[in-house]
Structure 1
Amino acid sequence: MSSLNHATFIWNAADILRGTYKQHEYGDVILPFTVLSRLDAVLAPTKQAVLAACEGLGPDDEPPQAMLRAKAKHPYSFWNRSRHDLKSLQGDPDNLEKNLRDYVHAFSSSVRDIFDKYKFEDTIADLASHDLLLQILQHFAKANLHPDAVSNEQMGHIFEELIRKFAEASNETAGEHFTPREVIELMVSLLVESDDSLMTPGIVREVYDPTAGTGGMLSVAADRIHGHNAKAHVNLLGQEINPASYAICKADMVVKGQPIDNIVLGNTLTDPAFEGRTFHYGLSNPPFGVDWKQYRKQIETEHTVAGYAGRFGPGLPRVSDGSLLFLMHLISKLREPKPGEENAVAGRGAIVLNGSPLFTGGAGSGESNIRKWILESDYLEAIVGLPTDMFYNTGIATYVWVLNKDKPAHRRGLVQLIDATGMFEKMRKSIGSKRRKLSDDHIREITKLFTDFTETKHSMIFRSTDFFYRTITVERPLRLNYAITQVRVEKALASRAFAKTDAAQLAALRAALEGVTSDVVSTNRAEFSRSLAQALTDAGVTLSPAQLKALVTELGEPDDEGELVTSAGGPVADAGRRDTENVPWHEDIHDYLEREVKPFAPDAWIDGSKTKEGAEIPFTRHFYEYVPPRPLEEIDRDLDQVLGRIRVRLEAVKA
């Protein structure tokens, strides 16, 4: 049976649950029973030998793993000491609930944790109370999930398909739980194909995924590494926040022979696992555009207190999108280069992100500072633009960032952009938002573009500093005219300069100004100030020099032909005409001003105190190809043809 057929058969258990359970509850039953069925099948060949090896041990005594390996030839780090299996449990329907509980409790403690996360005991009790437990057990006993029939890779596909069905039934987004397999294949290929050290006999490689989902990335990485070197030792580690996905991932990893503690439940951003450890490879598909408001205090504390000694020293993105937090975390978990150490290999990573981390945030923002730090540190090796409609829960543009803590000499200081947006084949049937996929040929082509590291139509190479820029603030001088009009008077008296003036003084001032209100406009501040002071004196209103100065300013309005306003010997900037310009990193800002601004605003200048440094990666702009519009004659001809057909049809209707 194919993986899809297996998944369809397993999901048909919903027919048993229908009417008793709601649609969104099906997965809460089907997923843990699938895990149980897989573990039962995996342990079947050594079950009797394990029971014999455990003779004489108390029910709460856990047998040493080394003893089981030696006596029972048991290759796994988990076991089950129950006399039952899923088939034998059916022979005693009257005690089925009790026996099934005992059977689950007979697993080693680390595996029981998987079923605890599913709240499996509650599920057993609920099924038993509705007389459905035996039917469900019989259904899953028919699903042959033995490793000889279903490989680990196939089992991963089955889990993913079941989660997709569960997500559809519960109106959730399946893409939060797993990544399309061909995208994972591409990510792993980009990391592994250029690692020449993989052929070393007995080499050890550790692969880490901070958003592990059901473990698809870890599984593909292990398969690909073993494809290069069958004798390589691969350690797979990950963390997952969703209990159901965590349980599936952990079950899959222990079946692969990975240590029980390699998969951890928890929030990577606030409670990261594997503290102090770094890894050879890092892979991640964090949730797109997820906000981190509820974790804000913890993350901001790490940013301010730990600084660059922590994960988030370079900056923090806006609260509405935490993608760059996952990116910085992944970088922190990649091995640092160790010059002089034999067989020392620096960490490399690949992470899927949407377009936002490429350009969101102007110079000086958290996002820009993070990008600038990554580029300055020379951690970014390449970015691959994927086709749209590749993921199950979104059709937006996505990108694979390839990271390297120690680039080869010919790549240092450089970043490669690969445009794979047109490399896809359409799926015969859409799955959610996923309508396209990468073929094996596409993956090979993209990988070759990456390893060749040459410029082509789909591959461009830039200096890291090509993505840097400076944002300059361009000022224009303030020029004002002055007049005592009703509108200006009301604006002046409502300004902050007179906010603390008592009501009586304010009334007297208003009356005095209304007495001299006119439409006469002056462009001479000194002359206007003198006439205003005299008018106020004549009205018996006294203002301090500071108040008079503020009033004159408030009665002024910008005027290109007005008098230049100065302060401390220089012109005052007109905030209303203030502008900003982004200047490429390698260009002098003053040369830019002379060429781009001065011809249109000869009196402009740069306020150097406001200049900010930034970084953005305008991926689409670099691969944009201008397509000229069709000639007007051709458009007119097409319109005439269309209108002609419409006229013919209208005549037919009239007839």
Structure 2
Amino acid sequence: MSTLGSFIWSIADQLRGPYRPNQYGNVVLPLTILRRLDCILEPDRDIVRELAAKYDNPNRLRIEVKKATGRSFFNTSNYSFANLLADADGLADNLTDYIDRFSPDVDVFEYFDFKKEVLALEKAELLREVIMSFKRVDLHPDVVSNADMGDAFEYIIRKFNEAANETSGDHYTPRDAIRLLVDLLFAEKDVDLSEAGIVRTLYDPTAGTGGMLALAEEHLLLQNPDAKLSLYGQEYNPQSYAICKSDLLAKGHDATNIAFGNTLTDDAFKGRQFDFCMSNPPYGVDWKQYAKAVTNERDEAGPYGRFAPGLPSTSDGQMLFLLHLAHKMRAPEDGGGRAGIVMNGSPLFNGAAESGPSNIRKWLLENDLVDAIVALPTNMFFNTGIATYIWILDNTKHPDRKDLVQLIDGTAFWTKMRKSLGSKNRELSEDDRAKIVRMYADFADADPDYSKLLRNDEFGYWTITVERPLLDDDGNPIVDRKGKPKPDPKKRDTENVPFSYGDSTAGAAGKAEVIQAYIDAEVTPHVSDAWIDWAKVKTGYEIPFSRHFHKYAPPRPLAEIDADLEKQITKILDLLHEVEG
């Protein structure tokens, strides 16, 4: 639990009465951001006011402020937390003036509709008391680190969403899961990232409050303090967007790199590609309302568009973000890119052969873009206990990893939390994380119990249609005009034939040979009159993760099962006797 977040949230107790608990966040979140920015700007406030009096042109003023303070944002108001309370009667107007006079890139308060809350607080005679409470909190980065500030925001959001019966997991990802994703994302490029003065770009299309971007930057700077990581993101939740953008402003990043809007329908960075991409998209959320826009984009963009490989079911849009990330990786000829995404289990196997999801997997695997998939422990996230997986994509794989996918079963590597947070009662300790990353890095020496290397074509299969003849009343096959037997729809069957059947390594090219071998061995010996309809053969791809790590457990001895049944029957009879007695 964030101590700072708990303290800030306690300020919300002053709102009891005029505000309901599920409305506290509308006041607490923007005021926390405002106080954070206020503390950052305070040391240079007089300099900025002097420059504002000298330069009327906003662009010139921004340049001069940047030269004088090193910051890209500023505020030209005569008010701040230092003197807002001096004019009791004009507090609301003065606070509004303070908010209005931020530089144009600080648009975060618009997304909270905060001016409306200022008027509501004044009407409830709470504004002075709340401002006084926030004035007592020093949120300067020298006092409260960026990491602690992030924890505080996440705590506040979680409390806010609990009060509103919303799912906090829709807005941020647990830090331990992010750290593993970041470790895996950078693992293959760690040597390159240590170069002096290196500049790299990182992009998150579902940025949330910016937790992934922040931890990725922290990881890189720990390795190389001279490195520069330019952060980019897009977020469609107004409050999360405001927090993310203010966090990057506080760290000195270019806030214009954080965009508001729906990534699926309006890509704010169209035409841009990045060195690293990462995302934790919503699971199982339908995209019916965006289906027309997404489908139109696919049709208009043609074979090189981001959704060209296929579209998933409208009931779950995860794989749209998977395609989006693959599209956003820097091109191989420009140095290549890597992407990491957290998803649930359905993108591994949902959809039949030649369905949208299967075609997406086919495109990723046939283009050798899937580097590794890691199964996470269950109960890792705040709003779900289901199985989740980290996918790592890479379009410039190391030569040893080409045409291979590494599957890592990390479900056993977790530490029990002292206190649950929603559905989250397990976490990845540093040791847990290190073990998983080591397995990824070792690669060739993979432990078969936890790590397996598979060829891309081992995930492919053909769905074949097996027909049997329709018989007349005398048991003779009914034939068509060409003398061929007509199929009996009631006896029709479909079967999946793996590309690797019979230890074949030919992949998709072995279609005729492998399928015929399957028919000869698995079908004809049992139904000699059966045949395959070659016109109906479909190609599919799935990643049956659990099957590859299945451990056979022999059934219990019958005597042991019988003994347990006898015990239970005895208990039931004893209970019945008590009721009757």
How high is the TM-score relative to the length of structure 2? Answer: 0.94
Partner of 1:476: 468
Distance in 2, matches of 1:636 and 1:474, equals: 43
Distance in 2, matches of 1:385 and 1:595, equals: 35
Distance in 2, matches of 1:132 and 1:324, equals: 47
1:358 maps to 2:357: no
**CA deviation digits over 1:69-126, x for unaligned, max 9?**
33x3x12210111222213211221110011011111211111x11111111111111
Q: Is the 8 A contact 2:73 2:103 kept in 1?
A: yes
Q: Is the 8 A contact 1:364 1:612 kept in 2?
A: yes
2:148 to 107, 130, 154: 154
- Structure 1 position 458, deviation (Å): 0.4
Partner of 1:11: 9
Which of 22-31 and 464-473 deviates more? 22-31
- Structure 1 position 62, deviation (Å): 5.5
Q: Write the letter of the residue equivalent to 2:366.
A: E
Q: Which secondary structure state, in structure 1, belongs to the residue aligned with residue 259 of structure 2?
A: strand
1:464-613 equivalences under 5 Å are 464-481=456-473, 523=474, 561-587=475-501, 588-613=514-539
Q: Is the 8 A contact 1:54 1:63 kept in 2?
A: no
Partner of 2:391: 401
Query: For the structure 1 residues 57 and 398, does the alpha-carbon distance in structure 2 shift closer, same or farther, using more than 3 Å as the test?
Result: same
1:123 to 117, 123, 140: 117
1:619 to 545, 550, 562: 545
Which of 298-307 and 313-322 deviates more? 298-307
Q: Which secondary structure state, in structure 2, belongs to the residue aligned with residue 84 of structure 1?
A: coil
Q: Which secondary structure state, in structure 2, belongs to the residue aligned with residue 566 of structure 1?
A: coil
Distance in 2, matches of 1:224 and 1:615, equals: 35
Distance in 1, matches of 2:213 and 2:83, equals: 34
Q: Which secondary structure state, in structure 2, belongs to the residue aligned with residue 478 of structure 1?
A: coil
Partner of 1:349: 339
Partner of 1:133: 127
Partner of 1:67: 64
Q: Is the 8 A contact 1:479 1:565 kept in 2?
A: no
**CA deviation digits over 1:335-388, x for unaligned, max 9?**
0112xxxxx531101000111100000111011000000000100000000011
1:379 maps to 2:374: no
Q: Which secondary structure state, in structure 2, belongs to the residue aligned with residue 353 of structure 1?
A: strand
Q: Write the letter of the residue equivalent to 1:575.
A: P
1:439 to 424, 429, 445: 429
- Structure 1 position 223, deviation (Å): 0.6
1:107 to 102, 110, 118: 102
Q: Is the 8 A contact 2:372 2:393 kept in 1?
A: yes
Distance in 2, matches of 1:48 and 1:285, equals: 42
Query: For the structure 1 residues 566 and 650, does the alpha-carbon distance in structure 2 shift closer, same or farther, using more than 3 Å as the test?
Result: closer
Query: For the structure 1 residues 596 and 4, does the alpha-carbon distance in structure 2 shift closer, same or farther, using more than 3 Å as the test?
Result: same
**CA deviation digits over 1:26-69, x for unaligned, max 9?**
111111111111111111222222223333234x7465333223
Which of 426-435 and 364-373 deviates more? 426-435
Partner of 1:254: 249
1:271 maps to 2:266: yes
- Structure 1 position 279, deviation (Å): 0.4
Larger Rg computed on CA atoms: 1
Partner of 2:446: 455
Partner of 1:243: 238
Query: For the structure 1 residues 615 and 646, does the alpha-carbon distance in structure 2 shift closer, same or farther, using more than 3 Å as the test?
Result: closer
Query: For the structure 1 residues 649 and 173, does the alpha-carbon distance in structure 2 shift closer, same or farther, using more than 3 Å as the test?
Result: closer
- Structure 1 position 287, deviation (Å): 0.4
1:177 to 171, 174, 191: 171
Distance in 1, matches of 2:317 and 2:569, equals: 52
**CA deviation digits over 1:382-407, x for unaligned, max 9?**
00000111111111110000010110
1:370 to 354, 357, 360: 360
- Structure 1 position 175, deviation (Å): 0.8
1:178-257 equivalences under 5 Å are 178-195=172-189, 196-257=191-252
1:632 to 558, 563, 574: 558
Q: Which secondary structure state, in structure 1, belongs to the residue aligned with residue 412 of structure 2?
A: coil
Q: Write the letter of the residue equivalent to 2:47.
A: A
- Structure 1 position 648, deviation (Å): 7.7
Partner of 2:308: 313
Q: Is the 8 A contact 1:383 1:401 kept in 2?
A: yes
Partner of 1:542: none
Which of 421-430 and 619-628 deviates more? 421-430
**CA deviation digits over 1:278-336, x for unaligned, max 9?**
00000100000111111111111122221222101111111111111100001111101
1:283 maps to 2:275: no
Q: Which secondary structure state, in structure 1, belongs to the residue aligned with residue 277 of structure 2?
A: strand
**CA deviation digits over 1:557-577, x for unaligned, max 9?**
xxxx35534332211111111
Query: For the structure 1 residues 653 and 601, does the alpha-carbon distance in structure 2 shift closer, same or farther, using more than 3 Å as the test?
Result: closer
Partner of 1:513: none
Q: Which secondary structure state, in structure 1, belongs to the residue aligned with residue 312 of structure 2?
A: coil
How high is the TM-score relative to the length of structure 1? Answer: 0.84
Which of 642-651 and 60-69 deviates more? 642-651
Partner of 1:550: none
Q: Which secondary structure state, in structure 2, belongs to the residue aligned with residue 429 of structure 1?
A: strand
Distance in 1, matches of 2:578 and 2:487, equals: 70
- Structure 1 position 192, deviation (Å): 1.5
Q: Which secondary structure state, in structure 2, belongs to the residue aligned with residue 55 of structure 1?
A: helix
Query: For the structure 1 residues 200 and 473, does the alpha-carbon distance in structure 2 shift closer, same or farther, using more than 3 Å as the test?
Result: same
Q: Write the letter of the residue equivalent to 2:108.
A: I
Q: Is the 8 A contact 1:208 1:283 kept in 2?
A: yes
Q: What stretches of structure 2 of length at least 5 have no aligned partner? A: 502-513
Q: Is the 8 A contact 1:62 1:108 kept in 2?
A: no
Which of 288-297 and 373-382 deviates more? 288-297
Partner of 2:404: 414
Q: Which secondary structure state, in structure 2, belongs to the residue aligned with residue 109 of structure 1?
A: coil
Distance in 1, matches of 2:395 and 2:225, equals: 26
Q: Which secondary structure state, in structure 1, belongs to the residue aligned with residue 90 of structure 2?
A: helix
Q: Which secondary structure state, in structure 2, belongs to the residue aligned with residue 108 of structure 1?
A: coil
Distance in 1, matches of 2:425 and 2:437, equals: 22
2:34 to 30, 33, 36: 36
**CA deviation digits over 1:401-440, x for unaligned, max 9?**
0010110100000000000011111212211111111111
Query: For the structure 1 residues 392 and 54, does the alpha-carbon distance in structure 2 shift closer, same or farther, using more than 3 Å as the test?
Result: same
